[in-house]
Amino acid sequence: MKWPQPVSALFFLIVASLLPGMAPAGWLPDNRPVPGGVAIIELPASETPPRVRYNGKPVMVLGSERGYTALVGLPLATRPGTQQVQITWGNGKQTSLEFQVQDKTYTSQHITLKNKRMVNPEKRDMERIGREQQRIKQALATWDEHTPDTLHLALPVEGPVSSPFGLRRFFNEQPRKPHSGLDLAAAEGTPIRAPASGRIVDTGEFYFNGNTVFIDHGQGLVTMYCHMSRIDVQPGQTVQRGEVIGAVGKTGRVTGPHLHWGVSLNDARVDPMLFLDQAPLADRPDTDPHH
C-alpha cells in the first residue's frame, strides 16, 4: 500500500504496535477463497480480539484500525460452497459466520521415477513413512499466539517455478496427492533463506521429503523446505528474514535438485504465491517436474 504522506505510515505503525494481533495495513495475502487458497474474513466489531476456529483448528486473527480480520487457510480438499468459522468472543459468547468457497481446477502432472520404491514403497519403507508422517503433521499443525512480523514472504530461493502449487500428481501413471507446495528450480548448493523471521520447529531427513526444515512464524503460519542438501539450523533456534537455513539439494523423492517450498496456514497447505512480496523472477512451464 502506498501512503500519501510519510507521517501516515508512521502513525499507523505506532497504532499497530499498541493493538494485540495487529499487522501493518496491506500486509495480507491475496483473498482467494478457493481450495488451496486463503479466505480473508472481516469480523464483526469487538473491543477485544475474538478467537476463531475453522474445521476445529485455530485461525489467525489480526487487528486493524477498522477491527479484526480472520485469515483462513483452505485445504485443497475443501468443497466449494458455503463454509463457516466458529467465533468465541471476549465475553465467552460463541457464534458462527458463513463464507463462500469458490471452485478451482488445477492441472495434472505426470512424472516418471526410476526408483520404483519412491512410487510403491516396500513394507519396511511404509513403517518409516508412517512414523515420519506423524512428525510432519505435528510440525505443520504448530500453533503459537505470537503474531507474525509480516505476512509478505520473500522467496527463499531466487529462481523459476518448475512446478506450481496444486498440480494433480501422477507418479509412473499412478495417482498421488496433489502438489502441496511450490517447486523452485536452483542449482544444488544454492543457499536457502528464511522468507520471514520465525522459530525452527523441527528438522530431519524424511523418506519422500529428504532433508527438511519447518519454520513457525506465528498464529498457525508454518513454512516447510524439502530436498535440501544440507541443514544449517536446529529445532528451537530463532531465525531472521534472509538468514540462511540450508542449501538446495536433491534428497528424497526427486528427479533433480530443487527446493520444494510449502506454506501452511491453520494446518492447511495453501499456495505460497499468495504470500509473496513479488512474483518469482521467471516462471516457466512444467518442463522440470520434481516433488
For residue range 208-245, what is the model confidence (pLDDT) as tens digits?
A: 899 999 999 999 999 999 999 999 999 999 999 999 99
Q: In the sheet that 108-111 helps form, which strands lie side by side, from edge to edge? A: 108-111, 168-171, 174-175
Evaluate whether 243 touches 249 at the Cβ level (below 8 Å). no
| CA-to-CA dists, residue 289 to 51, 201, 228, 286, angstroms | 40, 28, 16, 6
Res. 110: pLDDT tops 50: no
How far, in Å, CA of 226 to CA of 7, rounded? Answer: 42
For residue 108 the three cell numbers come to: 495434472
d(CA 179, CA 76): 9
Domains observed in the chain: 6-101 (2.60.40.1590), 108-275 (2.70.70.10)
The Cα 163–Cα 288 span in angstroms is: 7
Q: Contact at 8 Å (CB) between 170 and 119?
A: no
What confidence score (pLDDT) does residue 139 get? 97
The confidence score (pLDDT) of residue 282 equals 36
Q: Please state, in angstroms and rounded to a whole number, the distance separating the CA atoms of residues 269 and 255.
A: 23
Residues 6+ apart with CB under 8 A from 100: 33, 81, 82, 83
pLDDT of amino acid 12: 33
Looking at the whole model, is its pTM more than 0.85?
Answer: no
Q: For the residues 168-180, what does the mean pLDDT come to?
A: 54
pLDDT at 117: 55
Say which amino acid occupies 278: Q
Identity at 30, one-letter amino acid code: D
Strands 161-163 and 182-184: antiparallel
Residues 275 and 203: beta-carbon distance below 8 Å = no
What are the φ/ψ torsions at residue 272 (nearest 5 degrees)? -60, -25
Give the pairing type, strands 198-206 and 210-218: antiparallel
* Percent with pLDDT over 70 in the chain: 77
Q: What is the mean pLDDT of residues 179-184?
A: 86
Q: Which residues contact 118 (CB under 8 A, 6 or more apart)?
A: 171, 208, 253
Confidence of residue 50 (pLDDT cuts 50, 70, 90): very high
User: What is the predicted pLDDT for the residue at 158?
Assistant: 87
Dist CA 35 CA 73 (whole Å): 9
| Contact yes or no for 192/223 (Cβ under 8 A) | no
